Amino acid sequence: MSDETPNHDPREFDIRVDRVVCAVADAELGRIPLEHAIMRALREGDTEIHVVRVIAEGSDDDAVDAERKWLMDLAHQEVEQLSSKDDNAVPAIFAHVMVGSVADELVGLCRNLSADHLILGPGRNPGASLVASVLADPPCSIEVVQPKSHDPEHEEERRKSCPKCAAVRSKTQAQQWLCEDHAGSEWHRFPIISSGSLRPTSFG
């Protein structure tokens, strides 16, 4: 693995290598997209994983260095746990720590690397605004991975406490109980969103 951040000219890329950019939010949620990216690489081979974390503007060099070390340590741990000793498909992993707008930095990095895929994980909000921002100007194909979070035992309680559901029940005189969000709550995983071309066919 390398923690260097290469500045690639897309015309110099070996088209046989699949380049995956994996956005990591934090220690708890960051393992989800990273595990997905590593498993994909081990399965398909010839893959470069670029793990990226975007931090707040105003962060100093020490903070950036600390984040990069943490990112590489996390990647090492995940690779060791997921790959076997005789696995020849262990991917090359690069760590990138960016400062600024998350969506802008991710899109910019994907374009700079001529990435084939961008993998986003769950966020605290749960990342819907980030997904929408990236999809507004997609740099490559995009995957959003989300763990199953549906808990049947508490779903009814959540629905009852939802102000949108309450408004729907009031408006329809209890003929309809659920808002649009909860009416479709049987979907527990973000869909795989694919947008944009995987790779330009030529360079001008």
If asked whether residues 176 and 96 sit together in one domain, one would say no
For residue 96, report the phi and psi dihedrals to the nearest 5 degrees.
Answer: -130, 130
If asked whether residues 38 and 76 sit together in one domain, one would say yes
Burial 27-50 (b: 16+ CB within 10 A, else e): eebbbbbbbbbbebbbeeeebbbb
Give residue 167's pLDDT.
Answer: 81
Number of domains in the chain: 2
If asked whether residues 139 and 57 sit together in one domain, one would say yes
What does the DSSP 8-state code read for residue 199? S
Query: Half-sphere exposure (CA, 13 Å, Cβ side) for 177?
Result: 7
- Indicate whether 78 belongs to any domain: yes
- Indicate whether 199 belongs to any domain: no
If asked whether residues 45 and 24 sit together in one domain, one would say yes
Q: Could you tell me the residue range of the domain that residue 165 belongs to?
A: 152-182
Give residue 125's pLDDT.
Answer: 47
- Indicate whether 114 belongs to any domain: yes
If asked whether residues 100 and 36 sit together in one domain, one would say yes
Give residue 11's pLDDT.
Answer: 41
Give residue 150's pLDDT.
Answer: 54
If asked whether residues 156 and 67 sit together in one domain, one would say no
Give residue 45's pLDDT.
Answer: 82
Length of the chain, please?
Answer: 204
If asked whether residues 100 and 171 sit together in one domain, one would say no
Q: Tell me the pTM.
A: 0.63
CB atoms < 10 A from the CB of 132, how many? 10
Which of 139, 74, 61, 70 lies closest to 103, judged by CA?
A: 139
pLDDT along the chain (204 residues), means of 10: 47 68 80 88 88 87 90 88 69 90 91 93 62 84 76 55 75 73 48 36 34
Give residue 26's pLDDT.
Answer: 73
What does the DSSP 8-state code read for residue 201? S
Give residue 199's pLDDT.
Answer: 35
